Structure 1
């Protein structure tokens, strides 16, 4: 596996995560597809990659639990011997005004979106292969500051801050750390619970007058994971069609 680069993608079974997995596999990465519950989708994606001559495994883990995050990293190292690229994509979203947000929704979003990323960053800080890349998914709502997104955006703002600081703490390891912040992107996570009127409103906020597609985001991640993107470090790339 010395000449094959290995990527670990959390929440890689569906939506943006699956598109990232497909893009990295197409760029000759061996890919670890992490999932929490979507086993059928994850295994189908792995078989699809293998059918095209690629290398991939699916690993179940709830990254918000430190022991499971450790098991995920260990499974990747056992199968492929190293991890060159970590993509922290796993996330949950529960929209509501702050005044109406339940403790359960608050805790779940911080557990997965922030603590899950923290767990994986802590492991990657010591176990990622030298010269590798860490790419964390944020959101352009951090800039847009839309109503009802308060807790979700707060988790992602924390991720952006951790990422920038970690990029400095990894001095000397030649590891880049960046965030990709999608705007409204046509996935189940985005459309669930929203009216068509609201979806259309968000789509038209972009000067390109459309929703992002998962491959729009995956292409940016693929660039940051490549040698060509390695000089970009400590940054937030807002892949949103110009919405903010």
Structure 2
């Protein structure tokens, strides 16, 4: 079954690289027009847009610092101006600080929670206001919230908050037939996976490798289609069997 997302408009945050990039490309490949959000790297965002357009799709790169609620609102307004009413939102942008809890500073805390909690909260809030009835909202969490790891207190704590946002919002938007879900990648080949952990991570999967962004994106894009209409309030694992 191949999903057809023709006529749908999507916003993907943190879409210039990694999993967000793969999600943006996957949505576009199925016919959706895509707003490619980025924070700093306009060159990478432009490359994502160019790749989509080269394949006959429609995309626009939109810069915004999502830790600032006014910029979240502006992002959604610009996306609607460029693409029309929105149907799909992926809250994917994230940051991480990897160090023991006792070494984490207030600056570390503020950095991670601004990127992973505050920005996601206001992205979900704006998505709830803007997506059309029958829309799809997905937030990226992590399989790490189901496992035991050292040096990840800030990252996993922030993602735990995202999972609770999703659970609550799914109940609030159910009457509009809007689904709200989280997707939890396992060890995935992005710049958030420390080089030191890659060999061990590959050994934890029965497939003997870490995930590729496309592996996660295919599951995420499924959640954007009509075939996923009966799935809401869930945290979908996309971890290659490591949790």
TM-score, normalised with respect to structure 2: 0.96
Distance 1:145 1:6 in 2: 38
| Counterpart pick for 1:46 among 46, 49, 52 | 49
Deviation of 1:27 (Å): 0.6
Partner of residue 78, structure 2: 75
Deviation of 1:171 (Å): 2.7
The reply to whether residue 163 of structure 1 matches residue 166 of structure 2 is yes
Is the contact between residue 145 and residue 153 of structure 1 (CA under 8 Å) also seen in structure 2?
no
Distance 1:188 1:70 in 2: 28
Deviation of 1:153 (Å): 0.4
SS at match of 2:193: helix
Deviation of 1:10 (Å): 0.1
Partner of residue 206, structure 1: 205
SS at match of 1:109: helix
Deviation of 1:145 (Å): 2.4
Distance 1:74 1:145 in 2: 40
Cα deviation, 1:189-214, whole Å, max 9, x if unaligned, reads: 223xx42xx32012211222210100
SS at match of 2:174: coil
Partner of residue 3, structure 2: none
Q: Which segments of 5 or more consecutive residues in structure 1 lack a partner in the other structure?
A: none
Partner of residue 237, structure 2: 238
Distance 2:159 2:84 in 1: 31
Distance 1:181 1:48 in 2: 26
Distance 1:102 1:179 in 2: 28
RMSD: 1.2
Q: How does 1:1-244 map to 2 (within 5 A)?
A: 4-191=7-194, 194-195=195-196, 198-244=197-243
SS at match of 1:188: coil
Q: Which segments of 5 or more consecutive residues in structure 2 lack a partner in the other structure?
A: 1-5
Distance 1:19 1:236 in 2: 19
Q: How many residues align?
A: 239
Is the contact between residue 63 and residue 116 of structure 1 (CA under 8 Å) also seen in structure 2?
yes
Distance 1:171 1:220 in 2: 21
SS at match of 2:90: strand
SS at match of 2:139: strand
Deviation of 1:51 (Å): 1.6
Is the contact between residue 25 and residue 31 of structure 1 (CA under 8 Å) also seen in structure 2?
yes
Distance 2:205 2:83 in 1: 41
SS at match of 1:129: coil
Deviation of 1:104 (Å): 1.1
SS at match of 2:181: strand
